[in-house]
Amino acid sequence: MRKLKLQMQLSLDGFVAGPNGEMDWMTWNWDEELNSFVTEIMASVDHLLLGRKLAEGFIPHWEAAAINPENTDAGAQQMAGIPKLVFTQTLNSHNWPNTELMQGDLAEQINQLKQQPGGDLMAYGGAGFASALISRNLVDCYYLFINPAAIGNGLRIFGELQQTLKLTLVKATTFECGVIVLHYKPAITA
């Protein structure tokens, strides 16, 4: 069965963006070790899952980076080339290559995707989409990239929980740029 992985950037104080979606606090001077780590966790992934709000900036960014002749980042080619599923209740059409819109019941759609053959699924968010996945217990692996910044206020991904979400730490990995990646899986409860 396919797994749904969630990769999110968080501030030290638990925000994924500022109050107006600001992301200027994120660390992007990743070293080769952190880039290799991301390549490793993406190795089993064959679809990206995005919420509509994130998709509107994410997809055009990676498409432009992939065709920029000055860009030597192999990750841009990977991000542009991987099939994307955009979960939306408001869009009926788009002009993004390699992208399908997903509408309807989120849990039902995700569970159907998990049952299909293929590689794992990687969700990137935004905040509302990630919150919906988390609150419905749809995430199988959490990769939380903790950035060395506190922003005081902003958007959270654990705010919709109706009960405690217990997680088991699989691994904590530190990187020279100051990012710490916490890899969790849902705890098995008896």
Report how far residue 179's alpha carbon sits from residue 158's, in angstroms, rounded to the nearest whole number. Answer: 20
Structural domains of the chain sorted by starting position, each given as residue range(s) with its CATH number in brackets: 4-21+49-186 (3.40.430.10)
Beta partners for residue 86, in sequence order = 50, 101
Q: pTM for this one?
A: 0.92
How many CB atoms are located within 10 Å of the residue 63 CB?
18
- Give tens-digit pLDDT for 31-90: 889 989 999 999 999 999 999 988 888 888 888 888 887 776 667 788 888 999 999 989
User: What are the two backbone dihedrals, phi and then psi, of residue 44, each rounded to the nearest 5 degrees?
Assistant: -90, 0
- Give tens-digit pLDDT for 2-32: 999 999 999 999 999 999 999 999 998 888 8
